[in-house]
Copies of this chain bind each other. A is one copy, B any other.
Amino acid sequence: MGVTINDIAKAAKVSPSTISRVIANNPRISAATRERVLKIMKEMNYHPNYIARSLAKKSTKIIGLVVPGSTENSFRHPFFPEILRGIGSVAYKNGYNILISSANTAAEEKQMAKEFAVGGITEGIILMTSMIKDPAVSELKKLKFPFVVVGRPQDDNEVNWVDNNNFSISYELTKHFIAQGYKKIAFLGVSYEYTVTIDRLEGYKKALEDNGLAFDADLTVEGKFIDDKGYDLMNKLFEKGIIPDAAIAIDDLIAFGVIAAIREKGLRVPDDIAVAGFNNAPLSEYMTPALTSVEVNAFTLGIKAFELLLADIESEHKSFNRAIVPGELIIRKSSIKTF
């Protein structure tokens, strides 16, 4: 703070333009003056002002990240920091900084996204959301501002997005149960507000169908994605007098609640009811029994999200892209038939 390009110019007895060119590594500056200026910059402890440069260049090298906020547990989920790590790793390499903002409601989210877009502070936005009818998405579309959505948007027309192959991986997981002879497979935690849960439900349905099992709506329990307690969801089934032989939960945290409910009823996992989740929570491998899950590779999702955004910001030729990161089925004891 304090020493500016003009101070250096005076001290070096050259013009500010020259200082600017030294900073920018402009090759037209003679080696002699370059050295002299660099030395003085160091002596006077000069550092270019990022804000002034941004204004002059009309480029801030900052991207905005809008995350769901305090009222939603999604923010607490381990995949969030993983995605952030992924974004950060490539952003850093490309000289971008990340401005982060959390919103508590869809309206707030739209507001934050808009502020980032119109304020001239960010050059692009990543939305950590995949909600149906997301107002932030329509707002950014309207503004024609570069952005990427993490999670398939309901209407993926004219938007960049990244996601897992939720349909396929859910299909595969369901098949893993069917192949072992399970027939009454429950699906817990669908929320019609999140495409991710819908896609997983569809994969499950298709797997049933392809293997001659009828889809039974009674085996599907609606929830609020990861905001709900698996314990409650499983008990809804029990209260209806339904005892499945297997249960797929939309998230590992839900799965643990499901297991708790099963045990409370005096049943065993996997012997009486086999269980699997999604998102491979850090502790899932340590549980007893270890939980079968799907690794979603959130770090890679973050990398892809940034790459798509960068392309949108820098490319001359506008296009809308998507990247699908494959999930990996991780089979552990909770879903392996023991008899």
Contact = CB atoms under 8 A, between A and B. Distances in A.
Interface of A: 1, 47-52, 54-55, 60, 62, 65, 69-70, 75-78, 80-82, 84-85, 88-89, 92, 97-102, 118-121, 252-253, 256-257, 259-260, 263, 281-284, 286-288, 299
A119 B47 contact: yes
Contacts of A283: 252-253, 256, 281, 283-284, 287
The 6 closest A-B pairs by CB, nearest first: A256-B286, A47-B118, A50-B119, A49-B120, A88-B102, A50-B121
Given A51-B54, A60-B51, A287-B283, A82 B88 contact: no
A102 B119 contact: no
Contacts of A253: 282-283
A85 to B, nearest CB: 5
A67 to B, nearest CB: 8
Contacts of A284: 283
15 contacts: A1-B120, A48-B119, A51-B120, A51-B121, A62-B99, A69-B88, A70-B88, A75-B81, A76-B81, A76-B85, A100-B100, A256-B283, A257-B286, A263-B288, A281-B282
B70 A89 contact: yes
Contacts of A82: 76
Given A77-B81, A283-B283, A283-B284, 15 more contacts: A49-B119, A49-B120, A51-B54, A51-B120, A51-B121, A52-B55, A55-B55, A62-B99, A70-B299, A78-B78, A92-B101, A98-B99, A252-B283, A283-B287, A287-B288
A189 to B, nearest CB: 15
A144 B101 CA distance: 27
A118 B3 CA distance: 11
Contacts of A287: 283, 286-288
Nearest to A284: B283
A252 B287 CA distance: 12
Contacts of A84: 100, 102
A76 B78 CA distance: 7
Contacts of A55: 49, 51-52, 55
Given A55-B51, A55-B55, A78-B76, A88 B60 contact: no
A295 to B, nearest CB: 14
Contacts of A97: 99-101, 121
B98 A100 contact: yes
Contacts of A288: 263, 287-288
A180 B48 CA distance: 62
Contacts of A88: 69-70, 100-102
